[in-house]
Structures are given as C-alpha cells and as structure tokens.
Copies of this chain bind each other. A is one copy, B any other.
Amino acid sequence: MLWHDGRLIDGTTLPFDLTDRGLTLADGVFDTALALAGRVAFADAHVARLVASAEALGFSVPADAARTAMHALAATGDRLAIRTTVTRGIGPRGLAPPPDPRPTLFATAAVSDRRIAFAPLRLWPTAIARNETSPLARLKTLGYGDAILAARDARAAGFDEALFCNTRRHLACAGTGNVFALFGDRLVTPPLGDGVLAGIVRAVVIAELAPACGLACEERSATRAELRRADAVLVTNSLRLVAPVAAIGDTAYATDHPVLMRLIAALRDRVAAECGVPASVVA
C-alpha cells in the first residue's frame, strides 16, 4: 500500500521520474513510525523531525501532507510500520540542487511483526565509523549504505545488528537505533554531536521515561571500554521500542535487569496511550 499525491494506491509502483535526486543521489530524508489500531505513535514528533531534517538539507516538506499520509496509511491495518519518504525532487545532472526544488513525498505501509517489540538484540561492533563530522549523521537521510554493509557483516558473524562508534572511537548508535547504557541509576546515551540520529523513542526515554523511572539520563560521549562495564544496554527505535541488548561482541549483558523491565513497562504504557489501545496490544 502506497500513499502519493493525496491518495492511497494499491501496490507500490507509480510513474516516477528517474532523475529524482532521492534515487540518483540519496538527496532526501525519511521516517519510520509505528501505527497500532489506526493510530500513529508519536505522530507529531515524527512529522516534526521529517520537516526539520528536510530543512537541514535545504528544502521544505509540507507537514500537512506528511501527516495526512501517515494517518491515511495507519488506517489500513492493525500494526504497521509506516515509512514516509521525502526527496528534493527532480534535478539536472550534477550535485547542485535546482534553485526551486519541488520535493517528492510518498509513504508506504508494511505489517510490523509484533514480536520485534522489546525483543533482545545481539550487537556486532562494526569497524565502519559513524561519521560524526557530517551533519548527515544526525539526520535520517536516504544514505543507508554503511548500515546495510555493517548489518550484513553482523548477520554473517551470527549477530542481529551492528553497533557503530564514531571516528573518535566514541559510542554512536546501532545500525537502526539509538543506544543507552545503564550504570546504577544513571542512563547514558551519546549526544547528537557524536553522530547520532535524534530518535523519537530516544527523546521519549530522555524526557519522560527515565525521570518517571527514577533514572538520571546523561547525554554524553562514552567509549566502548566504558560500555563493557554497563549494568545493561538497550537500543531504541520506533518499531523495536526498547530492545534489551544481550551481547555486544563477546560481552554479555542481562536482558532482564529490573530497570530495563521498568523502562519497557513505561514505554509500553506510553505507546498504548498514544494509540488508544490496551498495553497488551503494544507487545
């Protein structure tokens, strides 16, 4: 199912201009949101981030259209991953954007497996650095090549996901999520300047769930060595929500730490309230 130009369309194929810079140069941004029972969790935050990301690249996303697309697709299933993509639109050959870009917006919905919510993950430390010197490391742009390569290596090594450090060897993020480490009653997560996407669930954990669970939350740089001493590690993203990390390479972590369980319960309730469903529907 596809949303484009104001309407829902069966299938995913459309007339498309192959000089669209999203396709030719990865010149665009996207967002992935969870929808339960017809409602998008944290919809305003998702739309706001999409608009801000495009702004950072220098073009405008019509927020209303993005919101309409997400809501229209949300109504087409019970538990959906909604992906909204905005590119800078078509352009002539070369890197220079057209002076007056006409962005392309489309969105797709796919069934989201309930079992990935809160499921433990094993992370493989990739040798590919997250490039925090680029503003793009903080934006959800279309350029996912490094994450694809690192995920391939992780799976080949028998792990679920890659873990990235940045060029200064500070902890950055998982291939598709933010990372938090727990030390006693403190949560630590890398600041955006370390090459980290401003995750929607990350923000909810920092602003709401950590305080509600009696945890201090610090946005600061951390090293892999420090991470080895963590009491627990977790990955956040909009579909996995909070994933307990069972291992990073050969370092094992408890996935049933009581603080983790409190965070999971709090996020389950929060998402349930967002979507107007019982907590048991979330996971």
Min Cβ gap A176→B in Å is: 7
Residues of B within 8 A of A129 (CB): 131, 133-134, 167
A43 interface residue per 8 A CB criterion: no
Q: Are A134 and B149 in contact (CB under 8 A)?
A: yes
Residues of B within 8 A of A68 (CB): none
Chief secondary structure at chain A's binding surface: mixed
Residues of B within 8 A of A189 (CB): none
Q: Are A134 and B128 in contact (CB under 8 A)?
A: yes
A225 interface residue per 8 A CB criterion: no
Pick the contact of A148: B12, B27, B146 (CB < 8 A): B27
A241 interface residue per 8 A CB criterion: no
Residues of B within 8 A of A14 (CB): 15-16, 18
Q: Are B17 and A13 in contact (CB under 8 A)?
A: yes
A19 interface residue per 8 A CB criterion: yes
Give 1 or 0 for each of A1-36: 1 = CB within 8 Å of chain B CB. 010100000001111111110111111001000000
Q: Are B12 and A15 in contact (CB under 8 A)?
A: no
A143 interface residue per 8 A CB criterion: yes
Q: Are B136 and A127 in contact (CB under 8 A)?
A: no
Min Cβ gap A83→B in Å is: 7
Binds B, one of A92-100, A213-221, A251-259: A92-100
Pick the contact of A23: B19, B23, B81, B149 (CB < 8 A): B23
Residues of B within 8 A of A134 (CB): 128-129, 131, 145-146, 149
Min Cβ gap A154→B in Å is: 10
Known A-B contacts A13-B16, A18-B13, A136-B149; the reply to A95 vs B144 at CB < 8 A is: yes
Q: Are A142 and B25 in contact (CB under 8 A)?
A: yes
Residues of B within 8 A of A19 (CB): 12, 108
Q: Are B27 and A145 in contact (CB under 8 A)?
A: yes
Q: Are B110 and A142 in contact (CB under 8 A)?
A: no
In the complex the two chains form, what is the Cα distance from A145 to B88 in whole Å?
Answer: 11
In the complex the two chains form, what is the Cα distance from A106 to B16 in whole Å?
Answer: 13
In the complex the two chains form, what is the Cα distance from A99 to B143 in whole Å?
Answer: 21
Other than A4-B18, A142-B145, give 8 A-B pairs with Cβ distance below 8 A: A16-B18, A23-B85, A24-B83, A26-B144, A58-B152, A94-B176, A131-B134, A136-B145
**10 tightest A-B CB contacts, nearest first:** A143-B143, A16-B16, A26-B26, A167-B167, A25-B144, A129-B133, A131-B131, A93-B110, A23-B23, A95-B151
